[in-house]
Amino acid sequence: MIRILVFSPKGGVGKSSIIYFLSLLFKEKYKVLIVDLSTSMTLSRLFNISGNIIDNDLDYFTEKDHISIVSFYSKNIPKNVKKIYNRYSDILKDKDIILVEYPTILNIPAIQLESTIFKETTNSTNYLLPISDPMNYIIHAVPNYINLIAQNSDLSYSILGLVINRSKEDSFDNDIKTFYREIFIIKFYREMLFKGFWNTPIPKDIYPIYYKINKLL
């Protein structure tokens, strides 16, 4: 099992769509779990989940087409940690790849709870997959955000590379290229704006990320 934390210092950069497309590719060979910690709950709503594992006894988990998803976001302080621990540890059983969508705000109790339960119930490797849009000031903010994640977690992480989404060019500052071993460029796909990412084919730019992760499994 591996756990991949997908995050960005800015909202609306396409984290949900990238996780969704990767899930479609991995589900053919592996048991995939999406952990939705995003405040927008985009993927949870896409899978018709309206509750969350912290506040609700029902409607926080579903499985569809070999993809499992648990809604984990809540702004409330967890009251029954043992119940949540048992629920999440049970969901984690037999999964091969965990794709966690992080919110932009890191001081949410659910974040620490999810990582703590994961650490205590598994012996798996953790990876970071930062997502940015093409704006240089967002790209340059990613390393600071990585440091914040490290400071707020007991888990150790390896960086898979930087994903620059909705890009219209392939040229970026040289210092960016020296910080990351790999940079994955996903071009701007206009049809996603009109049809929604769930109604569009998997972009070919997703495949290099898929191949990179697949080598780790």
> What share of the chain in percent tops pLDDT 70?
97
Question: What does DSSP say about strands 61-64 and 67-71: parallel, antiparallel, or unpaired?
Answer: antiparallel
For the record, the structure tokens of 39 come out as 């405040």
Whole-angstrom distance, CA of residue 58 vs CA of residue 81: 16
Which pLDDT belongs to residue 74?
A: 94
Whole-angstrom distance, CA of residue 209 vs CA of residue 158: 15
Q: Which of 75, 131, 141 is nearest to 100 (CA)?
A: 131
CATH topology of domain 2-214: Rossmann fold (3.40.50)
Contact assessment for residue 20 and residue 202, using Cβ atoms and an 8 Å cutoff = no
DSSP string computed for 112-148: HHHHHHHHHH---EEEEEEEE-S-HHHHHHHHHHHHH
For the record, the structure tokens of 47 come out as 């899978």
pLDDT above 90 for 156: no
Contact assessment for residue 70 and residue 92, using Cβ atoms and an 8 Å cutoff = no
In tens, the pLDDT along 161-177 reads: 999 999 877 666 667 77
Contact assessment for residue 62 and residue 127, using Cβ atoms and an 8 Å cutoff = no
In tens, the pLDDT along 64-96 reads: 889 999 999 998 988 899 999 999 999 999 999
Identity (one letter) of the amino acid at 4? I
**Arithmetic mean of pLDDT, 142-164:** 89
In tens, the pLDDT along 131-148 reads: 999 988 899 999 999 999
Domain coordinates of the chain in residue numbers? Answer: 2-214
Which pLDDT belongs to residue 174?
A: 67
pLDDT above 80 for 158: yes
b/e map of 163-173 (b: 16 or more CB within 10 Å)? bbbbbeeeebe
Q: Which residues contact 146 (CB under 8 A, 6 or more apart)?
A: 128, 130, 159
Which pLDDT belongs to residue 170?
A: 65
In tens, the pLDDT along 205-216 reads: 999 999 999 999
